[in-house]
Chain A
Amino acid sequence: MARERVSQADEWQAWAQRYDIEGGIRTFESGLTVKVFVGALFVGLLMMPGSIYLSYVSGESGAGAAPWVAVILFTELARRSFTTARRQELYMLLGLTGAAVGSGLQYRNFIWYAYFINTPQAASYEIADKIPAWIVPAGDSVGVLTRSLLHPDWFLPIAVYLAGKLLGTLRFVSGQYILFRLTADLERLPYPMAPISAQGATALAETTGKEETWRWRVFSIGSMAGLIWGFLYIGVPSLTGVMMSQPIQILKIPWIDFTQSIEGFAPTGVFAFRTDFGQMLIGFVMPFPIIMTEFVTAMASQFILNPQILYRFEILHQWKPGLDVRGVGLYNGLDFWMSCNMGKSFSFAIIGMAASIPMLFKLRKSKKRAGERGSFATPPNRGDFPIWLMGAMWLIGMGGFIWLIHWMVPNFPISFLLGYAFLYTPINSYITARTFGVLGRDLFEIPYLHEITFILSRYEEVDIWFAPLPDEDYGRGTQSWRVLELTGTTFTSNLAGTLLIMPILLVSGIVVLHFIWKIAPIPSAQYPFAQMMWPINATNECLWKTSLRDGNSQMLQAIRGDYVAAGFTSSLAIYGILWVFKLPSMWSYGIIGGLGADPGSMVTRLLGAIIGRFYMIKRFGMRRWYMFNPVLAAGFACGVGLIGMGTVAIALVSKAVIVKPF
């Protein structure tokens, strides 16, 4: 019997509705209130110095859990004050606190280059005297020698940074918004990972109300599971590392490598079992067809394609027996998969355009309601912006940015900058937006793009290595707009919050970093991580910045046109053939995503997907399960984040205590 064709429109619409927990019916409210703003500033600025300090001492800023701590603190205060907190407020609090905690680290390059310019490595590689003044003042300037970011010597680097920040805000807000409208409103891609953030805020908001619903129970179950798992997986190694020379790992982190065990029958194959069972939660959330096809294709890649075809035909020719997963992965990547993956990611752009251009043509004819696939209409009161305004903002932001770069490096060919800005950036961002919309993650980035550009431009000055390039990616940020929509937070309130807090954070970040630099030189004994790593990093940076002097790079030689074409065409063929045989288009994303990937990294995710599909859905029903699992995942992330922060704090305190020998 002939299979009935389900159009991609119907397929995506159905998946988008599963992840739209309230069935697309919601009211939008502002999340920006005075208490949220002050709360975010208070917690953020309180944690920001610690976050900067920790990053120099231990290499970990601990900023991940800070927003959750702020939200839990906020909800507890609300409960004790007999008031309620709305989910819009809590989601806004999550975002603003995250921005506040991370704001100090935005200036870290100043400290790094103030150190780098006076290193023996920079001198011996003849870079020190070529570092531009818009990155760092001269090595013998007062601002560097007295470790003062508030000295007038730093005026030019800070002014250039602030101009870049302002123009960047214009570009990123507008670029993300336009892509969000295209992928979420027009194409109705499901954004499977967005409900996790949305439901975390919603669950915590309900605790402040009179009636607690299933959300808080499910969130608590997830949090307890996260606390237990976080203790076993992160806590035990961190705490035992304080007392013992070799920390105890209950499960080997991050994987158990079976690559050498399979090399007898599958040479060039990799299989490293990833031990992070938190991935099971992602398996619960992600669409089952994607997880399943991705795993099957990855197995076929590592056990058939690599050993039986690519190795036999000597395409994978650098492999040697006895290599572990990292060695095999590196050689396989250089021999074939890096080029092939580039082609795969380009195919996503073509597939995306093929799906969306006919819809744009059709827009003039049809009058669809907001929330339907193929409709550009916006839901009422979402706080949308006119597309022309966003387009103009992006053009102004990008035009100003190109002018700024041209001012920094006047002899660098401007055609490359224009190509990056108006060709590469839109295509790359659209690819990423689509992969986030379907797979919930980025698929691939083109490696060594800057190096390729510098070679092609025949520009030989070192200053270009210090300049930013307009090769940007707005696709990743589209997910946060989807989360705003799911939490019912108006876009205008989110933008207002971001713009209001930005000047405060720009000033406070530089002041705090100034004082931390004043405490002691960075690196020094007070900052052991920086003391250990920065000299190595300085050597690496010198090697990179001088790597193209002789025009030779192993990485660039690894990119081959025929392999890129193979990845590109095979992905299109897979997509097309599945369409011909009326199979779900989800499969094609799974198959293309799984090509060349390590199946061992997917086992726990697959386990989660199987449990969800064959037990949980039967037990709870599809609708309830799709309501439960993002809340569960949000609770789990909160639990793991809290245990991580707690154990790192204990470890730091114990390291700060000096044990006297008498």
Chain B
Amino acid sequence: MPCINPNGQITDSARKLLSAMERPAPLPKVAADTGLPLYRIRSAVRELAQAGLVSKSGDAWQITAEGHAAMARSLTPAWRHPEAPTLRPPGLSPAAPQRRLL
């Protein structure tokens, strides 16, 4: 299950997974909480772990600080993103993001 899109942001499904791992949880519980098949959870967690967004302790997986940061970034519109301030044309108000030149 692709968890990170070509823009480097986590996908909706990854956000759902990370939310389910706010507290340490074994993968079958994550599958039950998200309603996704276990094979998709395993595949996704492998990808998230490679990106450092989740970590394992015993049988349980939990979101990392980097995972929380990725969650926050994914909820931030690109024009407000601190790493992309120059993407907003000068004078363009945040109230009119539809005019941004992205």
A and B from one complex: no
